Structure 1
């Protein structure tokens, strides 16, 4: 498995970081976890094409995790790609219909591209055939506990505390060829996520604040610090830890060093702070840090 970070930031507009998006190559499949603002451009900067993506999995439906969704689906369609299989909590089906349905916000664009003669001729010149169908991602609405089995990999999930009851929020694990990748989504610490992370070769965990940083009491249990995440990784026997979802103030001088120092106080395995376009090749044999 190979992980490419397409967006390591938050909802804040930040020149250094796009919002959330993580590309996982698994055998012949390409899974995109979340598709926030800026992820599409970073996909291209990484040398990848929209039509390469076979599966798109949403951890939850905050805008910074799905703002580039319509752009991705439209571009993959325009390349003539196979419809992307999309998995996400409700109401992802209604959202998709709102973009690509007969009365969706992109309906006028799609009618022009599929019905006007000049556009049809452009499509035919690119190797397409008529009539040209509209984008049709294959939607599966999911809930925590969802499992997806393929011939080569297995995806499992659990609920994580974040924006309930308005949003359903999940973390995911992917297992393939003896390797295990876990993506926390936006998650407060919880036993289910710790269990999902057990024995992970790489845990990608959101980090919204630094140790010593005060937040409103309602936010505190939902926003684990580097030290708290590290202790979870130790208990779960994680081999490698990557922190992500950094906010603007967390990129100030000295903040990365402080965060890594707090992690290393507890966790002895490899640890890093994700940056856009980073690539991690998953492999076995890391000291789990226990």
Structure 2
């Protein structure tokens, strides 16, 4: 498996990166983009034809999904349109969320089924996707949100937390993963709202409890110190720690 970071800025697009989006490629497997936040469609064009990818949406906050209306335009109006519909996996209300965002007028709902083959994640569900197995687990976050575990035929595994507060589910999903891509939106202080995001300290604790091989930190907002988040994670996890940047590539 190869992960290319299209965007990793937390909550909003940043000066050096789009919001959340990660290109996943693997042998005998259609390219997929994990999350599709603002700016991701443009970054994707450096690597793949946007009409040729599938989409995995961890949840439907704007910073994780709202470049999808642009993908609908690409697929509907490109002079050489792709054949068939785009496969998208997401939470149960994906059609409504994207349909409202893509509608012509306020109060309307764009029927995206002409362009999108929409399928639903379930808590603990497993999907066969090309050569990969994909497991979804419900996370601790205000909307319906999922962490995702990708496993290749050789047993190598990559886990993406999506957005989550500290919970047993994120540890269980990450158990023994070769690479954990964990959000770490805040430094660790007591006045953070519960069940929204992880701190660098908590991301490091998840990695240690789950026994992962490598910890990649992401979803750090422009107003949060990357250096402080990295230091927090390293204080809790003895393995390799890296805060990702747009354009980074990781082979798993």
Q: TM-score range by the shorter chain?
A: 0.7 to 0.9
> Structure 1: any 5+ residue segments left out of the alignment?
111-133, 283-290
Partner residue of 2:132 out of 146, 153, 165: 153
- 1:279 matches 2:249: yes
Deviation at 1:261, TM superposition (A): 2.5
Query: Equivalents in 2 of 1:87, 1:41: separation in Å?
Result: 21
1:22/1:34 contact within 8 Å kept: yes
Deviation at 1:8, TM superposition (A): 0.5
Deviation at 1:220, TM superposition (A): 3.8
Query: Equivalents in 1 of 2:239, 2:248: separation in Å?
Result: 18
Alignment of 1:194-273 (within 5 A): 194-211=171-188, 213-216=189-192, 219-250=193-224, 255-273=225-243
1:88/1:141 contact within 8 Å kept: yes
Q: Which has the larger radius of gyration?
A: 1
Misfit runs of 4+, over 6 Å: none
Higher normalized strand content (fraction of residues): 2
Q: TM-score, normalised by structure 2?
A: 0.87
| Partner SS state of residue 208, structure 2 | helix
Aligned length: 241
- 1:43 matches 2:20: no
Deviating more after overlay: 25-34 vs 72-81: 72-81
Deviation at 1:73, TM superposition (A): 3.1
Query: Equivalents in 1 of 2:121, 2:230: separation in Å?
Result: 35
Q: Which residue of 1 aligns with 2:72?
A: 73
Deviation at 1:246, TM superposition (A): 0.9
Change (3 A) 1:13 1:25: closer
Deviation at 1:192, TM superposition (A): 1.3
Q: Which residue of 2 aligns with 1:84?
A: 86
Change (3 A) 1:267 1:94: same
2:31/2:52 contact within 8 Å kept: yes
Over residues 28-58 of structure 1, what are the superposed CA-to-partner deviations in whole Å (9 max), with x where a residue is unaligned?
Answer: 32121111101111112x33220231x2111
Deviation at 1:99, TM superposition (A): 6.5
> Structure 2: any 5+ residue segments left out of the alignment?
none
Over residues 71-113 of structure 1, what are the superposed CA-to-partner deviations in whole Å (9 max), with x where a residue is unaligned?
Answer: 123324524224210111122123455577xxx429xxx9xxx
RMSD: 2.2
Q: Which residue of 2 aligns with 1:56?
A: 55
Q: TM-score, normalised by structure 1?
A: 0.76
| Partner SS state of residue 249, structure 1 | coil
Query: Equivalents in 2 of 1:31, 1:142: separation in Å?
Result: 15
1:8/1:18 contact within 8 Å kept: yes
1:74/1:135 contact within 8 Å kept: no
